[in-house]
Structure 1
Amino acid sequence: MKTVLITGCSSGYGLETARYFHDQGWNVIATMRTPRPELLPESPRMRVIALDVTRADSIAAALEQAGPIDVLVNNAGVGLFGAFEATPMTTIADVFATNTFGVMAMNQAVIPQFRERRSGVIVNVTSSATLAPFPLVAVYTASKTAIEGFTESLALELAGFNVQAKLVEPGYGPSTQFAANGAERMAGLVTEPYAPFAEQIFASLGQSMAVTEAIDVAQGVFRAATDTTGQLRFPAGADAVALAQAS
């Protein structure tokens, strides 16, 4: 029975992914900054532990508590929508702290046990924003695109140790808490000159027929975690698949 550790399980894709792996018979270590065990099935195969990927001490404590794992899923992330011109550099740093440096820190902390054991899979969750340009998410896209390049190189670096690195690229998920979770962070970032353009973008999103559901991402992560073909990228959701095919 294999064990997966998933970051960012308090809502959205991470929560659904934890449930999905559990349903497939895996041991699941679901992590979140503030543990809420009531969100997940009560089971001897489900553990909920605290983890803040922006803090080295929290990462070390979580991994010590988790014990050996077979798969690491880096799902924790923060969203940002707004004009780049209006985005403070401190906010940009906060986004990169979680979406980029937090993912790298988790990878670096887990790789030694995978390398020594000569087995393990790392799944880094990015975004379909890396597949095609999307306006008013320049900072978010940059933070996720960095992980795309990082994972491409890392996969080659670890192949000699029989350790795999994979990418899952979710599409636009209106059912997630992207906007709600980042409301304070995004306040004031759509300034008056950009307001008409932002209204057009919101209207086009509302008309989109193909979207991504949380289960699409959970299944995509599971495919990546269990893949034996050497595939690197796994678009998740109808819109993400369409973008990947067009690119």
Structure 2
Amino acid sequence: EGQRAAVETILSRAAQVLGVLTNELGVAVMPTIDEAVLDRLDLLQVSTERLLLVLALRSGAVRTIFVEVPAELAPDAVQKVTVVLNERLAGLTLKEIRATLANRLRDASTSEPGSSELLNIFVQEAEGLFDVPIAPSATAPVHLGSTQLLAGQPEFSTRQQLQGLLEVTERRDLLRDALTARGGEGLTITIGQEHADARLSTFTLVTSTYRFGPLTGIIGVMGPTRMPYDKIAALVNHTSRLVGELLE
């Protein structure tokens, strides 16, 4: 929790400063754990009906979760399933594991009694077992700079335009979806009608990715379609590098 709070403080301040420097609305999204890579996993038997799943991520983070099993499993079955899971899942991102686990284990089998049942539990509960809640993309907090910087621009001088601005900034889920849906590394610029959501059609988003270990976050600005793109792109790029350095 302490690490997460520190990251959020850095992002909040960076969004505010970037907004002031560009005279636009600074935006930043927490790194998402979906891109974290599984290094290895272990299964430890803690009771007759419960296992402890230990996920070691390539970032050095470790996630533990209890797995309920219907009956006592032989130690050999647990060991065999651990080997199979590591062979087929190590090196994949958690997002990839959740999306493809069923296919990857479709032809997996061992001769140990109970192993098939245990593998089936992983198939059925993949969404919960391989979701590490630092900041899943669906709930990643969005940090904003000062909305007043945008409200003072000519494009938002009428009451209707101002209401459109307030609707977008108050809907953090709308901004989060637009930001986390941006694929690829580095600088991305989306102008007006290029946005998937029509509510953003009068806005431009200029963002860049930053790294937090193996994780990726997004920082940038939102403003009207009229803006000094070269200057803003350079400031966004520079800020994303600084944020990455601060998070090292």
TM range (shorter): under 0.3
* Structure with greater strand percent: 2
* Structure with greater helix percent: 1
TM-score (norm 2): 0.26
TM-score (norm 1): 0.26
- The answer to which structure, 1 or 2, has the higher relative contact order (CA under 8 A, 6+ apart) is 2
